[in-house]
Amino acid sequence: MMKKCLIFSAGDFSHAQKEQVERTKDDLVIACDAGFAHCICAGITPDYIIGDFDSMKETALVVQEAFRSFRNRHPDRVLSLSVRKDDTDTMFAVKFAMQKGYQEFRLFGMLGGRRFDHALANLQTLLLIRHHNGRGTILDPSCTIQIAKNETVCFPAGTKGYL
């Protein structure tokens, strides 16, 4: 069984998605920048908060206060990145988790939002995960996305969608 990592970024996330957030005690949870707000919405405290924090200032004041509180209690679990970097906050988080041995990824808040370039980069992140023999799933309010490579993909009976 692969070690599972849940990553929350700042794209679209709905209250209905809380049902899709299944965390066990062995799972690693990472909030990327303003994706911390989605963790709060889902009732989850992340293990790490990673980002350049350029979008944190755009979140609600209660989220900013919760972030400051988390940072004060766990300064070693907040990884501040430069605004000028080659990887998105999400890509950095995936690589960070891979270094810790995680191979299964559930990605929330990866699409929508105000940055199409980030949505595109998050699709590329799925490719990186698959290239390293991991499994990545983007769970969006309107769709679920996975990368398949030389394998059979099975869906529950009655599932509708596109392949």
CATH number at residue 69: 3.40.50.10240
Q: Is 161 contained in some domain?
A: no
Q: Is 141 contained in some domain?
A: yes
Q: Is 130 contained in some domain?
A: yes
At 101, list the tokens: 């041995």
Looking at residue 96, its pLDDT comes to: 98
What's the rounded Cα separation, in Å, for the pair 147 and 136?
A: 7
What's the rounded Cα separation, in Å, for the pair 126 and 135?
A: 8
Instruction: Check pLDDT > 90 for residue 25.
Output: no
What's the rounded Cα separation, in Å, for the pair 33 and 78?
A: 10
Report pLDDT digits (tens) over 92-141. 999 999 999 999 999 999 987 777 888 899 999 999 999 999 999 999 88
Q: What is the DSSP letter of 160?
A: -
What's the rounded Cα separation, in Å, for the pair 153 and 160?
A: 14
Looking at residue 118, its pLDDT comes to: 80
Q: Is 70 contained in some domain?
A: yes
- From residue 113, alpha-carbon distances to 10, 13, 18, 108, 118 in Å are 7, 9, 18, 12, 9
Q: What's the mean pLDDT when you consider all of the chain? A: 89
Rg of the chain over Cα atoms, rounded to whole angstroms, equals 15
Q: Is 54 contained in some domain?
A: yes
What's the rounded Cα separation, in Å, for the pair 118 and 89?
A: 9
What is the mean predicted confidence (pLDDT) over 23-34? 92
Q: Is 156 contained in some domain?
A: no
Q: Is 42 contained in some domain?
A: yes
Looking at residue 30, its pLDDT comes to: 98
Nearest Cα neighbor of 30 from 125, 153, 152, 147 is: 125
**Neighbour tally for 23: CB within 10 Å:** 14
**Neighbour tally for 113: CB within 10 Å:** 18
Instruction: Check pLDDT > 90 for residue 15.
Output: no
Instruction: Check pLDDT > 80 for residue 163.
Output: no
Band the pLDDT of 151: cuts 50, 70, 90: confident
Report pLDDT digits (tens) over 58-86. 888 999 999 999 999 999 999 999 989 88
At 79, list the tokens: 């990884």
Residue with tokens 């559930």: 106
Decide which of 18 and 56 is more confident. 56
What is the mean predicted confidence (pLDDT) over 40-58? 91
Q: How many domains does the chain have?
A: 1
Domain that holds residue 75: 4-146
Q: Is 29 contained in some domain?
A: yes
